[in-house]
Amino acid sequence: MHKNKLFISISTACILLGACSKKDIDPITQIPPARAEQIYNRVVREWDENKDGKASCEDVAVRRRALFKVVDADKSGDLWPGEYRLAKFEDRSFHFFEFPKADVDESGRIELDEFIAIPPSRFQGFDADSDCLISKEEALRAEIAAIRSGERRRSAKSEKNKKNDEKVEELLPIPD
């Protein structure tokens, strides 16, 4: 009884003071379970190269090994700067690591272990706790963040369009 009363008074306080705004509700608790499952499965499908049903660093390594083979044009087993540059087109992670920074042992070549060791920027964007595994919660938070940044972009765009419309109006001849 006591608890109920307390609950009611807290809810009333929320309503009266507007203190418990929507902002305080964790948005991932608002996603229906079936939809949450769908989002998580999509993220796993996107990464799961080793087909173990999880999106992990191991999947990133599998992808890196495959990419290494592709860009190692002269099949020397290591990459020279020209070959390394090709990898940047496939994975933005390499943009953040110029050749000298990636060549940890300063051998003048990027060996496979150096290539795999470069932090995967997109994967890390999902893996908030850096445990090398994208959990369902991390997948959902990334999805919400993506939707929000999409909304921001859209509203910025419509703001721009509005300005353009105003400009167009300025350009229209004034009727007499």
The site for Ca ion (CB under 5 A) is made up of 48, 50, 52, 54, 56, 59, 103, 105, 107, 111, 127, 129, 131, 133
Q: Residue 68, class by beta-carbon neighbours within 10 Å (0-12 exposed, 13-18 middle, 19+ buried)?
A: buried
> 78: helix, coil or strand?
strand
Closer residue to Ca ion, CB minimum distance, 93 or 110: 110
Q: Are 71 and 83 in contact (CB under 8 A)?
A: yes
Give min distance, CB of 94 to Ca ion, in A: 14
Give min distance, CB of 69 to Ca ion, in A: 17
Closer residue to Ca ion, CB minimum distance, 50 or 76: 50
Closer residue to Ca ion, CB minimum distance, 31 or 117: 117
Inter-CA distances, 151 with 78, 79, 144, 148, Å = 43, 40, 10, 5
Give min distance, CB of 33 to Ca ion, in A: 20
Closer residue to Ca ion, CB minimum distance, 129 or 165: 129
**Cα R_g (the chain), whole angstroms:** 25
Give min distance, CB of 59 to Ca ion, in A: 4
